[in-house]
Amino acid sequence: MGEKKSFEEKELFQIQEKEVKPLAFRMRPRSLDEVVGQPHLTGREGILRKIVETGFLPSLIFWGPPGSGKTSVAHIVAKACKYQFISISAVTSGVKEIREAVKEAENDLKFHHKKTVFFIDEIHRFHKGQQSLLLPHVEEGIVTLIGSTTENPSFEIIAPLLSRSQVIVFKKIPVEDLVRLLKNTLEDERGLKDEGIRVEEDALFFMAQLADGDARQALNFLEVASRIAQQENNGVIGIKFLQDTFHKTSYLYDKSGEEHFNLLSAYHKSLRGSDPDAAIYWLARMLEGGEDPHAILRRLVACASEDVGNADPHALLIAVAAQKAYDFLGEPEGRLSLAQATIYIASAPKSNASYQALNQALADVKEYGTLPVPLHLRNAPTGMMREMGFGKEYRYPHDFTGAFVEQEYLPSQLKGKTYFHPHDRGYEKTMKERLRFLWKNQKY
């Protein structure tokens, strides 16, 4: 009778847990074998698999997108290696809380011979002082650090702490793995096995694509859809039902984080690489993600000067016109001006000759310092200045045929120096031919 009661209590607890805990929490993997989408880490040759097999847990930084399994894996490896687990909030924990946690870990190691993992979710939110406070305890082996972050650790983690940790890179979970996770959830007792939910195959793929590599998001979609379907659709989830339930796709985009710079970089490189299709795709990604259009326009203008240059002088005019047109039209019509300029600049002939010329000239400025302006190039507004030779021997080009006359315009130390090397592309080819004609091939 007692055993029966114990079983009933256990069953009741499981039912209550299912009613209270979110689906994503209930479906957390319990071992590396249940982790989805990270075979490079959890497979036979994966580093996490080898850590669990050896039982030795070094300090680790888990870096990857949201919902890729970082927190779950931290729990799994700590438990498998028989480490105590202390979770520290990067948002709410101050110096006092960290010191108390260190003291607890120190006592466990000293009196019970138990090692402790400090798990810090969103460790990039720890300021440098908090990170420095952890350093000596990690170094002495009092605690093992597992930090989790969506941001590039090389930018967000102090160098001494980073050098004492191994960075483990988690990847966005592929669609097919998310589909498998959703199917398992429908058949798992922790999930939706006994709830009368029927999901059409294409609806599983729809939710997986909607989640954009985030397992937590995929499970949240399934949970919301299942609750509504039970009330309104006899537990059946299809594509049309999902489209009505979730009106827009969720995009991973942080306008101040690394993904912001990744997408802007991909956009600029696609413009530079003369691929209008890729450029327009990255433009669409940023616009749908909520990027500030002026950040995009700055890249567009920069590319027009840096990468197109005088191969097509109209590119800069069109980029600046796009900015004015966007500000004049607003959303959504202003997006068309961005698209038009993007396609024009991506398709334009390319030259970085102006960019290279400026860099070479700046290098000479740094090397030679403030060289004096040649006397014949100086203004001579007073008699004294004319007596000193200011403006003497300057030849006014408009007094000569074709408004051109050979004379030296650089300081004597740089005589004959050439910075601008026009390419044989677009309008720069015309510029090159004209300059060669004027200077009789001496410079160009």
When the candidates are 1.10.150.240, 1.10.3710.10, 3.90.226.10, 3.40.50.10490, the CATH number that belongs to 363-438 is 1.10.3710.10
CATH (residue range 258-347):
1.20.272.10
CATH (residue range 175-245):
1.10.8.60
Residue 386: pLDDT band (50, 70, 90) is confident
Has residue 10 got a pLDDT over 50? Answer: no
**pLDDT tens per residue across span 413-443:** 898 888 988 888 898 889 888 888 888 877 7
- Rounded to whole angstroms, the Cα distance separating 138 from 5 reads 47
Has residue 287 got a pLDDT over 70? Answer: yes
Has residue 206 got a pLDDT over 70? Answer: yes
**pLDDT tens per residue across span 328-341:** 988 888 999 999 99
Q: How much is the pLDDT for 254? A: 56
Has residue 2 got a pLDDT over 50? Answer: no
Is the separation of the CB atoms in 105 and 19 below 8 Å? no
- Rounded to whole angstroms, the Cα distance separating 242 from 177 reads 20
426: Cα within 13 Å, side-chain hemisphere: 19
What's the whole-number mean pLDDT along residues 32-52?
A: 94
- Of 374, 21, 22, which is closest to residue 216 (Cα–Cα)? 22
Q: How far is CA 271 from CA 263, 299, 424, in A?
A: 12, 10, 20
Edge-to-edge, what's the strand order for the sheet holding 166-169? 84-89, 116-121, 143-149, 60-63, 166-169
Q: How much is the pLDDT for 99? A: 86
**pLDDT tens per residue across span 315-332:** 999 999 999 999 898 888
Q: How much is the pLDDT for 284? A: 93
- Rounded to whole angstroms, the Cα distance separating 392 from 240 reads 83
Q: Which fold has domain 38-169?
A: Rossmann fold (3.40.50)
Q: Where are the domains of the chain?
A: 38-169, 175-245, 258-347, 363-438
**pLDDT tens per residue across span 142-197:** 899 999 998 889 888 999 999 999 999 999 999 999 999 999 999 999 999 888 89
Has residue 90 got a pLDDT over 80? Answer: no
Residue 95: pLDDT band (50, 70, 90) is confident
What's the whole-number mean pLDDT along residues 54-82?
A: 93
- Rounded to whole angstroms, the Cα distance separating 330 from 291 reads 14
127 C-beta neighbours (distance < 10 Å), count: 10
Has residue 247 got a pLDDT over 50? Answer: yes
Has residue 258 got a pLDDT over 90? Answer: no
Residue written as token pair 């004597």: 412
Has residue 11 got a pLDDT over 60? Answer: no
Q: 151: which residues sit within 8 A by CB, 6+ positions away?
A: 63, 124, 257, 258
Does the pTM surpass 0.85? The reply is no
Residue 253: pLDDT band (50, 70, 90) is low
